[in-house]
Amino acid sequence: MDYEIHEHDVIVIGAGGAGLRAAIEASSQGVSVGLICKSLLGKAHTVMAEGGMAAALSNTDSRDSWEVHFRDTMRGGKMMNNWKMVKLFAQEAPARVNELEEWGALFDRTPDGRILQRNFGGHRFPRLAHVGDRTGLEMIRTLQNHGIHQGIDVYMECTIVDLLKDGDRIAGAFGYWRESGKYVMFRAKSVVLATGGIGKCYRITSNSWEGTGDGHALALRAGASLIDMEFVQFHPTGMVWPPSVRGLLVTEGVRGEGGILKNNKGERFMFKYIPEMFAAETADSEEEGKRWLNGDKNARRPPELLTRDVVARSIRAEKLAGRGTPHGGAFLDIASQRPADYIQRKLPSMYHQFKQLGNLDITKVPMEVGPTCHYVMGGVQVDPETASSSVPGLFAAGEVAGGLHGGNRLGGNSLTDLLVFGRRAGLGAAQYAKSLATMPKAHPDQVRAVEHTANLPFEDTGKENPYQVFQDLQVCMEEHSGIVRTGKELEKGLEEIATLKNRSTRLKVEGNRMYNPGWHSALDLRNLLAVSEAITLSALHRKESRGGHTREDFQDSSKEFAKVNTRVWLKNGTLAWEHIPHQDMPPELKKLLD
């Protein structure tokens, strides 16, 4: 074996918000840290986050507190959340935001010079610290520019193919350099997965090419469990026209700043779709919505700010009833609600995005929007305190971890999640690494097997085009595991995934390993297939509708399923599943939920 080898106490896979925060924390514990980025540093999907980061700073509304944030997050997650994680999250969020400011982030300000907070779906009070509509960029750049001075070794454009183990323990990771295609081995005592999401399983998605579920699949193959994989968030407002930008995100900030949703009859339809659970805190007339917009604190929030699952389903229902827009979505109108200069100041990148890509001035006319695959609530099952998985030495944080968001994530909770649990994972991984006296070692056979898998697409036996199999998988997931599901469709989906898996063993890639996107797609496909199967299998066995999981054959939420999470794991190479009961919530937290 003649590989390039790097050795660290901790390696972090993924350099978005969670990965960077984990690396910074681990490094501050005095251990050696390697940070592996699939792309260039600073380009991860975190840059796409727009609206803001939720934290009960209570700057904009003094009635806010961690308790209300806890309540909103649990209710938004339809009580599927791991309450221990939610508690830590809500309590630690303000400190993480302040820390980011200390490192150079410049949030928009209140008139008295503090951090300004904006309204967002499912949050009772204005809670999102933000920078116009480019909060993610501010966050990743701040972490990046802080992180490069913390003694972390950064490996850019490096993709991990598989994790390595020494017995039960993590021993490192094996991957390739994008540029040269050469293989590289990382020896490490602990590994933090911070690889983000899975959006590329679907055809219409807000995710970049990187969202191929790498960490979810790496964890499965290394023996860890995934939970809540049936809960996939379809963001209600993606662009629907022109085709080349279909799925591209339109920030919830548009609705947070007062934007309203209308059908092709000009009707503001969200008033028809207010779930009972949220009726008491949602405006029931356009008149009350108007008062809320004008800052009346006694007015309740307009129904456009209901949770994402509710709004996405409503837009879909309007379209199916024949009340959709010309390109099959809904109208999102801020032009009639706010003056042009306000829109340009608070939503500059949305203005820019529509002007440049859609030939449309959002300060004058409504946008056309529809649901787009945005986020997976499910992920690696972790310990709330340390972010450790069931595999010793393997940690996970951010979108790749499960538990915090339950059945549906609130907008603005993701960016804070990255910081709170990125930090905890970095700390957990560093402490674990310190507890090991010697560096674990993977057996050479294991490394050779990974290399063999990676080389397969170049062998002459295959003839399948990886791009084609990739596209077929996306269509399969859209049709069978999409925004509304049935048992029959899900079963069909599992069959098709099995066929696609088979085809994926016969891929054919041209050229050599040097910067070869065809080959990269072939390897990403392996992860996408694993994740798609996990989603579909989990969805099949949750026979109810809840949050980001809607079943046409079981339209209501059920008491029986209210008490369990779905866990999937690999058992002798086959995906197994079970329902695991929730842990009892202490009475002082239960009290907060009403």
Partner 1 sequence: MTDVTFRIFRGEREIGDFKEYHVTLSEGMVVLDAIHHIQAHDAHDLAVRWNCKAGKCGSCSAEVNGKPRLMCMTRMDMLPLDQPITVEPMRRFPHIRDLVTDVSFNYGVNKRIPPLKPQPRRADGTHRMQQKDIDRIQEFHKCIECFLCQDVCHVMRDHKVTDFAGPRFLMRCASLAMHPLDTVNRLEQLKDEFKIGYCNITKCCTEVCPENIQITDNAIIPMKERVAGGFYDPLAWLLRLITGRKAGERRPSV
- Please identify every residue annotated as catalytic: 235, 255
By CB under 8 A, residue 39 contacts partner 1: yes
Those residues whose C-beta lies under 8 Å from the C-beta of residue 220, and which sit 6 or more positions away, are 226, 530, 534, 568, 569, 570, 575
Nearer of residues 386 and 516 to partner 1, judged by Cβ: 516
By CB under 8 A, residue 252 contacts partner 1: no
By CB under 8 A, residue 368 contacts partner 1: no
Contact 126, 61 (CB under 8 A): yes
By CB under 8 A, residue 320 contacts partner 1: no
Q: How far apart are CA 231 and CA 209, in angstroms?
A: 21
**Residue 158-197 contact track with partner 1, rule CB under 8 A, x = bound:** ---------------------x------------------
In the complex, the smallest distance separating the C-beta of residue 295 from partner 1, rounded to whole angstroms, is 18
By CB under 8 A, residue 328 contacts partner 1: no
By CB under 8 A, residue 515 contacts partner 1: yes
Task: Write b or e for each residue in 130-158: b if 16 or more Cβ atoms lie within 10 A of its Cβ, otherwise e.
Answer: bbbbbbbbbbbbbbbebbeeeebebbbbb
Read off the tokens for 523.
């390897």
**Binds partner 1 (CB under 8 A): choice among 128, 509, 529, 535:** 509
Contact 42, 145 (CB under 8 A): no
The footprint of partner 1 on this chain (CB under 8 A) covers a number of residues equal to 62
Q: How far apart are CA 250 and CA 235, in angstroms?
A: 9
Q: How far apart are CA 209 and CA 205, in angstroms?
A: 10
In the complex, the smallest distance separating the C-beta of residue 140 from partner 1, rounded to whole angstroms, is 9
**Binds partner 1 (CB under 8 A): choice among 118, 123, 130, 146:** 146
**Length of the chain (residues):** 594
By CB under 8 A, residue 342 contacts partner 1: no
Q: How far apart are CA 48 and CA 337, in angstroms?
A: 25
Window of 40-48, 72-80, 481-489, 573-581 that interacts with partner 1 by CB under 8 A: 40-48
By CB under 8 A, residue 356 contacts partner 1: yes
Nearer of residues 312 and 509 to partner 1, judged by Cβ: 509
Dihedral of alpha carbons 140, 145, 146, 151, sign? positive
* Ranges assigned E (strand) in 406-450: none
Window of 27-35, 98-106, 228-236, 285-293 that interacts with partner 1 by CB under 8 A: 98-106
In the complex, the smallest distance separating the C-beta of residue 498 from partner 1, rounded to whole angstroms, is 24
Nearer of residues 357 and 439 to partner 1, judged by Cβ: 357
By CB under 8 A, residue 113 contacts partner 1: yes
Nearer of residues 103 and 271 to partner 1, judged by Cβ: 103
Nearer of residues 509 and 531 to partner 1, judged by Cβ: 509
Pair type for strands 128-129 and 330-333: unpaired
By CB under 8 A, residue 273 contacts partner 1: no
Kindly report the backbone phi and psi dihedral angles of residue 581, in degrees, each rounded to the nearest multiple of 5, phi listed first: -70, 150
Pair type for strands 153-155 and 33-36: parallel
Reported for 344-350, long-range contacts at CB under 8 A and 24+ positions apart, including other chains, are: 345/132, 346/132, 346/133, 346/253, 346/257, 347/132, 347/133, 347/251, 347/253, 347/254, 347/257, 348/132, 348/133, 348/134, 349/50, 349/132, 349/133, 349/134, 350/50, 350/133, 350/250, 350/251, 350/253, 350/254
Window of 117-125, 204-212, 224-232, 255-263 that interacts with partner 1 by CB under 8 A: 204-212
**Residue 458-497 contact track with partner 1, rule CB under 8 A, x = bound:** -------xxx------------------------------
Radius of gyration of the chain from its Cα atoms, rounded to whole angstroms? 23
* Ranges assigned E (strand) in 297-442: 330-333, 367-376, 379-380, 394-396
Kindly report the backbone phi and psi dihedral angles of residue 515, in degrees, each rounded to the nearest multiple of 5, phi listed first: 30, 65
Nearer of residues 475 and 498 to partner 1, judged by Cβ: 475
By CB under 8 A, residue 245 contacts partner 1: yes
Nearer of residues 196 and 324 to partner 1, judged by Cβ: 196
By CB under 8 A, residue 104 contacts partner 1: yes
Q: How far apart are CA 31 and CA 23, in angstroms?
A: 10
**Binds partner 1 (CB under 8 A): choice among 29, 91, 209, 434:** 209
**Hey, what amino acid is at 33?**
V
Nearer of residues 336 and 356 to partner 1, judged by Cβ: 356
- SS3 of residue 55 by DSSP: coil
Nearer of residues 102 and 491 to partner 1, judged by Cβ: 102
Which positions touch partner 1 (CB under 8 A)?
39-45, 47-48, 98, 101-104, 106, 108-109, 112-115, 131-132, 134, 137-138, 141, 145-146, 148-149, 179, 208-210, 241-245, 248-249, 348-349, 352-353, 356-358, 465-467, 509-512, 514-519
